[in-house]
Amino acid sequence: MEEQHELLHRVSALEFRIHITAQLIMITVGTGHLYKLCYERIRELTGRDLSMMKFSKYLAANPARLERIGAWLVNGALPEEPTSTCQALRKYCCYDKRKRLSYHEKRRAISLS
C-alpha cells in the first residue's frame, strides 16, 4: 500500500517547507543587500547611520516604496518625487540623536582605536 503524504497548497509538506525556506533566505539576503546599499548612500549624503531594524519595518509597512528606493539607488533623486526617498529614509530609518552610541558609532570607535 502506498503511503499518503499531507498536501499543503497542492504540494507536499516537504516541498512547501523548502519553498518557504528559499523565500525567507531570498528576503533576508535581498533586504540585507538593499540595506547595505542604502546605508552607504545615506551615510554619504547625510552623515547619519541607517538602522537595520527601522529600515526593515519601513519596508514591511511600505512595500510599494521598494521600487522608488531601487530607482533612487540607481538614478539618484527623481524630480517628480514630492518627498524624496533620501528624506523619507532619513526621517523614518536613521538612528535618533541620543546620548548613547549606536551600533555603527561603537564599531567606528573600535576601528579607530
Task: Kindly state the average pLDDT of the residues 82-97.
Answer: 84
1 located within any domain? no
20 located within any domain? yes
Which set of grid coordinates corresponds to residue 44?
554619504
Q: How many domains does the chain have?
A: 1
Confidence of residue 113 (pLDDT cuts 50, 70, 90): low
- φ, ψ for residue 28 (rounded to 5)? -65, -50
Give residue 12's pLDDT: 83
47 located within any domain? yes
Confidence of residue 39 (pLDDT cuts 50, 70, 90): very high
84 located within any domain? yes
Confidence of residue 103 (pLDDT cuts 50, 70, 90): confident
Domain of 71 in residue numbering reads as: 7-112
2 located within any domain? no
Question: CA nearest 37: which of 20, 59, 22, 21?
Answer: 59
- Residue 3 confidence (pLDDT) above 70: no
